[in-house]
Amino acid sequence: MVDAELCDRVISCGSRGSHVLPRLIRLDAAVTGRHAAWMNLLLLRNAQVYAPEPLGLQHLLLGGGCILWMGAQLADLPAALSVETIDLQGRRLIPGLIDAHVHATGGGGEAGFRTRVPPQGISRFTRAGITTVVGLLGTDDVARGPRDLLATVYALREEGLSALAFTGGYHVPPQTLTGSVRGDLVFIEALIGIGEVAISDHRSSQPTLDELMRLAADAHVAGLMTGKAGVLHLHLGDGLRGLDLVRQALEKSELPPRVFHPTHVNRRKGLFDEALALTAGGCTIDLTAFPVEEGEDAWSAADALLRYLDSGAHAERITVSSDAGGCLPTFDANGHVCKMGVGESGALLDTLNEVVARGVPLERALPSFTQNPARLLRLAAKGYIGVGADADLVALDSAGAAHDVIARGVVHVRDGRIKHHGMFEDAST
Ligand code: ZN
């Protein structure tokens, strides 16, 4: 149900007075927001539910952005409820993926201003089965800042995604909105942790142990005060110091290991071994689903996840993220960029499918993309399928692609086709 008055409003873009016609955009983005979710009841029939644990064939009633009911037997519903029905015909239904490392504003900037990556629209996430993102800043936390990041996160929310952010960026002292990272986390609802703070990287500000411990303490205390994640999300570079600072911080302070969430730990095989050892002490580590070339001293996210699951380590202490929107530069020995790529949201679902294709049951592979990040980030209604959970759901086709995607009870992808594009996305793509 779309407010007719809202639909009738249009804005014009383009250069007035030139020969280029202005592009008219319907201002109907609100259809994807709270209004539609609260007004409509949606019945999903015949879903093969992986919650992540397999629950067999189920029917689900969605309303108010949540899962209201789920059961194997479906009674007739009163016609007066005017429930929209989608028959999933036995497709696998999984929780919406949670991507805890997204350059929502676009990252980059390492090789000049032209290498700043533009922001990506909501459909780049939804078509990839991602319904929750955590935005962050990386190398460029000067030309970009927390205001820009928060505005981008709030825009994604208006378009129907669940979106949060970390405060700060690569560098120390971190960029903040309120003057302190603790203040940002305590007073700004969408900010849930600090990151990505760079260590063991030539682009970092080479933080000392004391500086790192102070940041981790601020994240931890703000987490206690607010019930938010309160994590220090750490970018790991290629440097051979690896996770040494984290090990020292854990040895020399009272900080709980859960506060440290190192990412990109599969970028070097030795680093992955260090990270694996850290999980025994209580840290959760994050794999990045970036492309890995033949012969490279790195594990792909799929390789690393398989190794992790086979190692007997705590299954809940690993997450996978995409680095979407971040640039993926290759540096030469002098620190010059010689090649550039961009992280893609689709890499998460590709990784999940690869791990399943290599013999891991879906219910064992799924938690790293759903339940585990939800637990670490303290998102109580996310990461699982059950009554009371947010209605963030992905129906997979037989090839593992996102056939239907529902975010907060609103259908964003149906039969593999995007139903809601972002305000400035080209709907023909
Ligand atoms: Zn990074």
- The 3 state secondary structure assigned to 212-252 is HHHHHHHHHHHHHHHCCCCEEEEEECCCCCCCHHHHHHHHH
Residues with CB under 5 A from ligand 1 (ion): 196, 235
Q: 51 and 58 in contact (C-beta within 8 Å)?
A: no
Q: Where in the sequence numbering do the catalytic residues fall?
A: 323
Inter-CA distances, 153 with 62, 188, 321, Å = 25, 12, 17
**According to the model, what pLDDT value does residue 39 have?**
66
Distance, CA 253 to ligand 1 centroid (Å)?
A: 25
Q: What is the per-residue pLDDT for 429? A: 56
Which CATH number does the domain 1-95+383-429 belong to among 2.40.100.10, 3.30.9.10, 3.40.50.2300, 2.30.40.10?
2.30.40.10
How far is the centre of ligand 1, averaged over its atoms, from the C-alpha of 134 (Å)? 13
- Long-range contacts (CB closer than 8 Å, 24 or more residues apart) made by 389-392: 389/66, 389/67, 389/95, 390/65, 390/66, 390/67, 390/96, 390/162, 391/37, 391/42, 391/62, 391/65, 391/66, 391/67, 392/95, 392/96, 392/131, 392/132, 392/162
- The region, left, alpha or beta by phi > 0 then psi within -120 to 50, assigned to residue 388 is left
Residue 429: other Cβ atoms inside 10 A: 9
Residue-wise pLDDT for 224-240, tens only, equals 999 999 999 999 999 99
CA of 345 to the centre of ligand 1 (A): 15
Cα(137) to ligand 1 centroid in Å equals 9
Write out the chain's pLDDT in tens, 429 residues: 344 443 343 333 334 444 555 566 655 544 445 555 556 899 999 999 999 999 999 999 999 999 999 999 988 888 888 899 999 999 999 999 999 999 999 988 888 898 898 898 999 999 999 999 999 999 888 999 999 999 999 999 999 999 999 999 999 999 999 999 999 999 999 999 999 999 999 999 999 999 999 999 999 999 999 999 999 999 999 999 999 999 999 999 999 999 999 999 999 999 999 999 999 999 999 999 998 988 999 999 999 999 999 999 999 999 999 999 987 777 777 878 777 778 889 999 999 999 999 999 999 999 999 999 999 999 999 999 999 999 999 999 999 999 999 999 999 999 999 999 988 887 765
What pLDDT was estimated at residue 199?
A: 97
Q: How many CA atoms lie within 13 A of 119 on its CB side?
A: 20
CA Rg, the chain, in Å? 22
- Ligand 1 centroid, distance to 150 Cα (angstroms): 19
CA of 330 to the centre of ligand 1 (A): 13
Residue 356 sits at the vertex; the CA angle it makes with 352 and 359, to the nearest 5 degrees, is 150
**Exposed, middle or buried: residue 18 (CB in 10 Å: 0-12, 13-18, 19+)?**
exposed
The pTM assigned to this predicted structure is 0.91
**C-alpha 195 to ligand 1 mean position (Å):** 9
Angle at 327 between CA 325 and CA 331, to 5 degrees: 170
User: How far is the C-alpha of 188 from the C-alpha of 223, rounded, in Å?
Assistant: 12
CA of 242 from ligand 1 middle (Å) equals 14
Estimate to the nearest angstrom the gap between the alpha carbon of 292 and the chain centroid. 20
Q: What is the pLDDT of residue 40?
A: 82
pLDDT for 81 equals 84
Q: Give the per-residue pLDDT at 395.
A: 98
Angle, CA 156 vertex, CA 382 and CA 196 arms, to 5°:
75
- The per-residue pLDDT for range 318-364, each reduced to its tens digit, is 999 999 998 777 777 787 877 777 888 999 999 999 999 999 999 99
- The domain spans of the chain are 1-95+383-429, 97-376
Q: How many CB atoms lie within 10 A of CB 312?
A: 7
In CATH, the number for domain 97-376 is 3.20.20.140
